[in-house]
């Protein structure tokens, strides 16, 4: 009986430790973005990473499977790998990418971190984000939504192997998307 | 200010200046809704978006929501998305398949062909005197399916679509015809980019209408290096290949573009080097197109606008972007991406990804456009700023390039002639009470039947 309780307790602690570890990783990632350390941010992705942000659709009740554009056939806001993310990072560092020159001020809030599935090498993680962007004088945007990540073990840290970003907007209310999520 | 009366003094094409009022004034904006958006032919969508009977797709004309449908008899319609009873939006889904649109407010029900087919308690409540045939959905008086693309106008006196585009057709065809030169056969990829940009709608429409000089704003894309082959310049080697570029303006129609000319014996320029199958597909498409060519010319359109607000490009960036007015300082953009129906999956996937990294609000090229349009609009609003017109004097008085067998006014690249023609047409629309004064000069048989 006592042994059983200890086992349950140990498992719970294991799980909590994993949640803490993942949260720390995600918070550190947000920190890199808000400090505009984009190359370091890019290093957090695996070589085969998939970064995907579908367009949302208004659908009938019961047709929720059609609610987002597909990463196999459709046009989305983003659907790319590390190569094009790297292009974006290079562009941000030119000093004449006018959409981000001067740089926007951003704050990435990451909350509701949930481990959906934990394997020996990979964990599936859900979270919510609120990204605040303010640029020049008074231009302000809020991007709010959900993320579904697959993180892969990399030594004593993690890498992002998949990221699906569900922005809770149908019509994008920002004039452009120059921030990462 | 007396915007409505003094328009011609605001658009001075002889001296190449246009008042900022045209871009910021509220009254002018309201007048544009009446004079331009309620009369001109507007792009709605593509038949591939409603392939089956009962399919619908929500689009927009100017400030208003419209429904594109395919009825049970396979006929395509465009309706205003509003209930005839008290105005409720009858369809709030983006797309789908249905028999009817049932209004959530008081339950009036419309068939997908627009007829009002159901009114609750119609006998008791209306004493049997209700004539349902008078209360169907409001339908556009003219619609055109041009090679699969759907266009409509709210004006039954407007010229037929073919007169409206006139000789510009040869340019527009490069958007709706296949990569291999076959007629039609395009389809729109699922997923339409819709977003809001704080700028007057004429900024994007004019930039796309052939402002080749703005390419400099995309300088950072050289470093981003995301060309079609996945690296290099945003256009790949294509743009550097020896070729001639022109700006085209349609003096009487207001449409414009800039083009890259190719000759019949020009070899294919390698484009998708890292994807051999995709490269083979486009090489063979190029060869079949050349074999079909009549005369010695072929061109790709780098950027273009059908007056007033349908912008597009052809070649490997086949897209249509519609700039809907959403207030004097706000535009709602709708961007559609096209491929051939027969494009094999691998090439389709390569195009899809190229579109996404190039175009739209997250596109590495277009992000910078939006910054420019946003702050150009904002910095033109002030009392003092409005006193100073914009400059459209580049190559003012330019002669057309001689001996180019292409329709419209052909100017060398980097002229603003096509933009001046665009505003000439804008002024004609804004000032003319009827089509009589501004009817296109070259008229088709249909146009002649209409009494012109
Ligand atoms: S508004 Fe549609 S039924 Fe009343
Ligand atoms: Fe541009």
What is the pLDDT at residue B238?
A: 60
Same domain, B367 and B339: yes
Together in a domain, B133 and B228: no
B342: domain range? Answer: 7-37+165-449
pLDDT of B447 reads: 79
- Complex prediction ipTM: 0.96
Give a yes or no: residue B2 inside a domain. Answer: no
Give A145-177 pLDDT, tens digit per residue: 999 999 999 999 999 999 999 999 999 999 999
Residues B232 and B273 grouped into a single domain: yes
Tens of each residue's pLDDT in chain B, 452 residues: 444 568 999 999 999 999 999 999 999 999 999 999 999 999 999 999 999 999 999 999 999 999 999 999 999 999 999 999 999 999 999 999 999 999 999 999 999 999 999 999 998 999 888 999 999 999 999 999 999 999 999 999 999 999 999 999 999 999 999 999 999 999 999 999 999 999 999 999 999 987 888 888 998 988 887 888 777 777 776 655 556 899 999 999 999 999 988 877 888 989 999 999 999 999 999 999 888 877 667 788 999 999 999 999 999 999 999 999 999 999 999 999 999 999 999 999 999 999 999 999 999 999 999 999 999 999 999 999 999 999 999 999 999 999 888 999 999 988 999 999 999 999 999 999 999 889 988 888 877 777 66
* B98 and B72 assigned to the same domain: yes
User: DSSP class of residue A120?
Assistant: S
Phi then psi for B109, rounded to 5 degrees? Answer: -125, 130
> For residue range A18-43, what is the model confidence (pLDDT) as tens digits?
999 999 999 999 999 999 999 999 99
Which pTM value belongs to this model? 0.96
Q: Is residue B299 part of a domain?
A: yes
Count of the separate structural domains present in chain B: 2
**For the domain that residue B73 is a member of, what is the CATH number?**
2.102.10.10
Same domain assignment for residues B120 and B233: no
Distances (CA, A) of A11 to A14, A122, A124, A125, B172: 5, 18, 18, 18, 65
For position A181, what pLDDT does the model report?
Answer: 98
Q: Which residues line ligand 1 (CB under 6 A)?
A: B 83, 85-88, 103, 105-108
Q: Is B190 on the interface with A (CB under 8 A)?
A: yes
Between chains, do B191 and A69 touch, taking CB under 8 Å as contact?
yes
- Verify that B114 and B245 share a domain, yes or no: no
Output DSSP code: residue A180. Answer: -
Which chain A residues are Cβ-neighbours of B361 within 8 angstroms? 77, 172, 174-177
Give strand pairing partners of B335.
B193, B321
Which ligand lies nearest the alpha carbon of B317?
Answer: 2
CATH number at B209 reads 3.90.380.10
Peptide bond into A9 cis (omega under 30): no
Domain contains B153: no
Band of pLDDT at residue A44, cut at 50, 70 and 90 = very high
Degrees, nearest 5: CA angle B235-B236-B237: 120
For residue B108, the ligand 1 atom closest to its alpha carbon is 3
Which of B82, B105, B135, B137 has most ligand 1 atoms within 8 Å of its beta carbon, as the pocket-test mutant? B105
* Closest Cβ–Cβ partner in A75, A97, A175 for B191: A75
Residues B258 and B384 in one domain: yes
B362 touches chain A (CB under 8 A): yes
State the SS3 of chain B: CCCCCCHHHHEECCCCEECCHHHHCHHHHHHHHHHHHCCCCEEEEEHHHCCCCCEEEEEEECCEEEEEEECCCCCEEEEECCCCCCCCCCCCCCEEECCEEECCCCCCEEECCCCEEECCCHHHHHCCCCCHHHCCCCECCEEEEECCEEEEECCCCCCCHHHHHHHHHHHHHHHHCCCCCCCCCEEECCCCEEEEECCCCHHHHHHHCCCHHHHHHHCHHHHHCCCCCCCCCCCHHHHHCCCEEEEEECCCCCCEEEEEEEECCCCCCCCCCCCHHHHHHHHHHHHHHHHHCCCCEEEEEEEEEECCCEEEECCCCCEEEEEEECCCCCEEEEEEEEEECCCCHHHHHHHHHHHHHHCCCCCCCHHHHHHHHHHHHHCCCCCCHHHCCEECCCCCCCCCCCCCCCCCEEEECCCCHHHHHHHHHHHHHHHCCCHHHCCCCCCCHHHHHCCC
Tell me which ligand sits closest to the C-alpha of residue B122.
1
Position B159 in a domain: no
Q: Which A residues 156-175 touch B at CB under 8 Å?
A: 170-175
**Under an 8 A CB cutoff, do B193 and A99 touch?**
no
**Domain check: are B330 and B413 in the same one?**
yes
Chain A partners of B352 at a C-beta cutoff of 8 Å? 73-75, 79
Is the same domain home to B318 and B195? Answer: yes
Paired tokens of B165: 């585009």
Domain match, B22 and B52 both = no
One domain, residues B133 and B20: no
Whether A99 and chain B come into contact, CB under 8 Å, resolves to: yes
Determine whether the interchain pair B195/A172 forms a contact, defined as Cβ–Cβ distance below 8 Å.
yes
Average pLDDT of chain A, as a whole number: 96
- Look at A78 and B217 and tell me if their CB atoms are within 8 Å: no
Nearest CA to ligand 1 atom 3: B106
B214 and B115 inside one domain: no
Residue B293 confidence (pLDDT): 76
Tell whether B150 is covered by a domain: no
B203 to chain A, any CB pair closer than 8 A? The answer is: no
Question: For residue B154, is it within any domain?
Answer: no
What residues of chain A lie within 8 A of the CB of B364, using their CB?
A: 87-88, 91
Give the residue on B whose Cα is nearest the Cα of A60: B93
Q: What's the rounded mean pLDDT across residues A121-144? A: 98
Query: In this complex, how many residue pairs, one in chain A and one in chain B, have their CB atoms less than 8 Å apart?
Result: 133
Asked if residue B23 is part of any domain, the answer here is yes
Full set of structural domains in chain A with CATH:
2-167 (3.10.450.50)
């Amino acid at each position: 009986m006592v042994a059983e309780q200890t086992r349950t307790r140990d498992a719970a602690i294991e799980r909590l430790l994993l949640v803490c570890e993942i949260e720390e990783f995600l918070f550190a990632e947000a920190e890199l973005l808000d400090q505009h350390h984009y190359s370091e941010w890019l290093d957090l992705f695996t070589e085969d990473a998939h970064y995907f942000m579908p367009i949302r659709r208004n659908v009938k009740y019961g047709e929720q499977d059609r609610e987002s554009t597909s990463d196999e056939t459709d046009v989305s806001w983003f659907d790319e790998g590390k190569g094009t993310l790297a292009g974006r990072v290079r562009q941000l560092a030119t000093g004449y990418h006018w959409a981000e020159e001067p740089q926007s001020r951003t704050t990435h809030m990451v909350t509701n971190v949930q481990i959906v599935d934990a394997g020996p090498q990979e964990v599936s993680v859900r979270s919510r984000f609120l990204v605040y962007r303010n640029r020049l004088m008074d231009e302000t945007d809020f991007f709010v939504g959900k993320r579904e990540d697959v993180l892969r073990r990399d030594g004593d840290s993690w890498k992002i192997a998949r990221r699906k970003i569900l922005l809770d907007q149908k019509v994008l209310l920002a004039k452009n998307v120059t921030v990462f999520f | 200010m007396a915007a409505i009366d003094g328009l011609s003094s605001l658009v001075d094409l002889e001296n190449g200046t246009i008042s900022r009022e045209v871009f910021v004034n509220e009254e002018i904006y309201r007048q544009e809704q009446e004079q331009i958006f309620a009369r001109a032919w507007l792009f709605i969508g593509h038949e591939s978006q409603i392939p089956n009977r009962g399919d619908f797709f929500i689009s927009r004309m100017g400030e208003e929501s419209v429904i594109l449908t395919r009825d049970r008899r396979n006929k395509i319609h465009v309706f205003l998305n509003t209930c005839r009873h008290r105005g409720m939006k009858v369809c709030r889904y983006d797309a789908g398949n249905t028999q009817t649109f049932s209004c959530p407010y008081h339950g009036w029900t419309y068939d997908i062909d627009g007829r009002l087919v159901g009114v609750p308690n119609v006998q008791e409540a209306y004493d049997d005197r209700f004539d349902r045939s008078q209360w169907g959905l409001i339908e556009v008086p003219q619609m055109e399916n041009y090679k699969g693309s759907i266009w409509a106008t709210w004006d039954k006196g407007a010229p037929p679509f073919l007169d409206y585009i006139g000789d510009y057709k040869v340019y527009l065809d490069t958007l709706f015809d296949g990569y291999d030169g076959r007629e039609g056969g395009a389809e729109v990829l699922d997923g339409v980019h819709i977003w809001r940009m704080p700028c007057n709608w004429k900024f994007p429409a004019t930039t796309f209408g052939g402002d080749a000089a703005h390419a400099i704003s995309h300088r950072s894309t050289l470093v981003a290096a995301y060309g079609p082959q996945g690296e290099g310049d945003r256009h790949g080697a294509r743009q550097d290949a020896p070729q001639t570029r022109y700006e085209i303006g349609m003096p009487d129609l207001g449409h414009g573009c800039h083009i890259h000319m190719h000759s019949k014996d020009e070899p294919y320029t390698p484009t998708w080097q890292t994807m051999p199958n995709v490269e083979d597909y486009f090489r063979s498409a190029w060869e079949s197109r050349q074999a079909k060519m009549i005369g010695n010319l072929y061109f790709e359109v780098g950027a273009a606008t059908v007056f007033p607000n349908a912008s597009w490009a052809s070649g490997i960036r086949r897209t249509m972007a519609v700039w809907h007015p959403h207030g004097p300082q706000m535009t709602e953009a709708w961007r559609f991406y096209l491929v051939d129906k027969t494009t094999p999956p691998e090439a389709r996937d390569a195009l899809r990804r190229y579109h996404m990294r190039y175009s739209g609000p997250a596109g590495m090229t277009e992000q910078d456009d939006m910054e420019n349009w946003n702050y150009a609009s904002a910095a033109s609003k002030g009392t003092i700023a409005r006193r100073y017109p914009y400059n459209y004097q580049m190559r003012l008085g330019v002669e057309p390039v001689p001996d180019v067998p292409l329709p419209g006014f052909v100017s060398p690249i980097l002229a603003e002639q096509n933009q001046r023609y665009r505003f000439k047409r804008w002024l004609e629309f804004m000032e003319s009470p009827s089509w009589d004064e501004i009817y296109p000069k070259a008229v088709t048989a249909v146009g002649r039947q209409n009494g012109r």
